[in-house]
């Protein structure tokens, strides 16, 4: 399932997309490929460099292969590094 959305920014800064609720796929921001994600990890966030964001309207495209019902993408200030997915469930590592 290809999802397309947009959001507006007053200022740009490095950020991360929280991919923990998504299944498996790829993400693009303003035509730039951010990377791939998979619910089992290892990464749970995708880095979005400030240089790829624009003041005003920004477009995000997500190619989701496992969870076609998923339609909410959240930005977070810091990467999520201490959580690893296991068959769709996130677990904190020691």
Mean pLDDT of the chain: 90
| Pairwise CA distance, residues 74 & 19, whole Å | 8
pLDDT in tens, 43-52: 899 999 999 9
pLDDT in tens, 51-76: 999 999 999 999 999 999 999 999 99
Residue 92 pLDDT? 53
- Comparing 40 with 10, the larger pLDDT belongs to 10
Kindly state the tokens that stand for 8.
């507006």
CATH number for region 2-68+75-92 = 2.60.120.260
pLDDT in tens, 9-19: 999 999 999 99
Residue 94 pLDDT? 47
Length of the chain: 94
Kindly state the tokens that stand for 60.
């995000």
Domain limits, the chain: 2-68+75-92
Summarize the chain as % helix, strand, coil (round to 5): 5, 50, 45
Q: Which residue has the tokens 């998923």?
A: 70
């Amino acid at each position: 399932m290809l999802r397309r959305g947009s959001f507006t920014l007053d200022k740009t800064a490095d950020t991360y997309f929280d991919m923990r609720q998504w299944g498996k796929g790829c993400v693009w921001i303003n035509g730039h490929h951010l990377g791939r994600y998979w619910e089992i990890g290892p990464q749970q966030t995708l880095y979005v460099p400030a240089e790829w964001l624009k003041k005003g309207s920004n477009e995000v495209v997500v190619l989701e292969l496992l969870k076609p019902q998923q339609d909410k993408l959240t930005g977070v200030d810091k990467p999520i590094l201490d959580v690893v997915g296991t068959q769709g469930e996130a677990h904190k590592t020691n």
